[in-house]
Structure 1
Amino acid sequence: MTDKQIYELTIDDLAFSGVWYFPMDESVEDELTVRPLLEEETCANAQIVVRTSFIGVDGSSYLGCLYWGNSGSVEYLKPVILLEDGTYVTFWNGMVKPSWADYSAKAQVLRGEVPFSYISEPLLGLPIISGKLEGLYYLDGDKIFSVT
């Protein structure tokens, strides 16, 4: 598997490698380039994303990823569900107020499954990150809000 842009990752990519990292050196196209992480020691100072399971309130299950880190805050984790059709449903939208209407009809089904519980996989010795998502999040001023 070769380098990809973070927004090009698919369910198959996450099945191949549960951890991807941002190399941030001259070998990559730009800062959005990720590469499969196969050995624990190659990620000492790299930002990484890790395969994560998302469970809806109705018990439905989805695969996605989040940025692994010490903070459990949604703005640092940037959780994403990947749907089979390639749609990304991102739960962190920065300073842009999100709308479920901006997503495809298939993705909008997720709205009825909120809140989502999530748990990252304990891969390459990385501790598990878990939590709950109440909706699509955004920053307004200095406060974080969610759209359910």
Structure 2
Amino acid sequence: MADKQVYELAIDDLAYFGIWYFPMDESVEDELTVRPLLEKEACVDAQIIVRASFVGADGSGYLGYLYWDDSGKVEYLKPVILLEDGSSVTFWNGMVKPSWGDYSARAQELRVVLPISYISDPLLELPQVSGRLEGLYYLDEDQISWIS
């Protein structure tokens, strides 16, 4: 089985399987375990992540994923860019104020290509989700803020 922890997903994983889901049953290690989704019906009630393309303001391209949600809100989509060096950038940080300094030198380079646009791949008949990221987002006293 190709189970992984969501934070262990790499570019090759997303290139091979465009959609992953959280099984949430006794067959998995914990709630962070994801599994490739091969049939839409296999996870009717499960949370899924879908491969997405990200494009920086300078035209640079990146691969990553979104937690699929048709609301378009960053706090539900939780965008993540995966980088070639194995590092990643999580653009939603919940109630924790993020810092670019917490990321690898390679990941920090994304700061200069903001804003970053994204669009999910149209897989298994899921509508595409698209948007724009201005920085690292977090919840600050009941409002969404970001650090660019």
Q: Which TM-score band applies after superposition, normalised by the shorter structure?
A: over 0.9
Give the Cα–Cα distance (whole angstroms) in 1 for the partners of residues 105 and 32 of structure 2. 28
Q: Deviations over 1:45-85 (max 9, x none)?
A: 11000000000000000000010012211110000000001
Give the Cα–Cα distance (whole angstroms) in 2 for the partners of residues 144 and 100 of structure 1. 17
Task: Give the AA of the match of 1:98.
Answer: P
Q: Match for residue 52 of structure 1?
A: 52
1:7 equivalent to 2:7? Answer yes
Give the Cα–Cα distance (whole angstroms) in 2 for the partners of residues 51 and 15 of structure 1. 8
Q: Match for residue 114 of structure 1?
A: 114
Give the Cα–Cα distance (whole angstroms) in 1 for the partners of residues 137 and 10 of structure 2. 22
Please tell me the root mean square deviation across aligned C-alpha atoms, in Å. 0.8
Q: Does the residue aligned with 2:35 lie in a helix, a strand or coil?
A: strand
Give the Cα–Cα distance (whole angstroms) in 2 for the partners of residues 68 and 33 of structure 1. 16
Give the Cα–Cα distance (whole angstroms) in 2 for the partners of residues 71 and 32 of structure 1. 23
Task: Give the AA of the match of 1:37.
Answer: L
Q: TM-score, normalised by structure 1?
A: 0.98
Q: Match for residue 131 of structure 1?
A: 131
Equivalent positions of 1:94-105 (< 5 A) are 94-105=94-105
Gaps of 5+ in 1: none
Task: Give the AA of the match of 2:122.
Answer: P
Gaps of 5+ in 2: none
Corresponding pairs, count: 148
1:73 equivalent to 2:46? Answer no
Give the Cα–Cα distance (whole angstroms) in 1 for the partners of residues 18 and 8 of structure 2. 15
Q: Does the residue aligned with 2:95 lie in a helix, a strand or coil?
A: coil
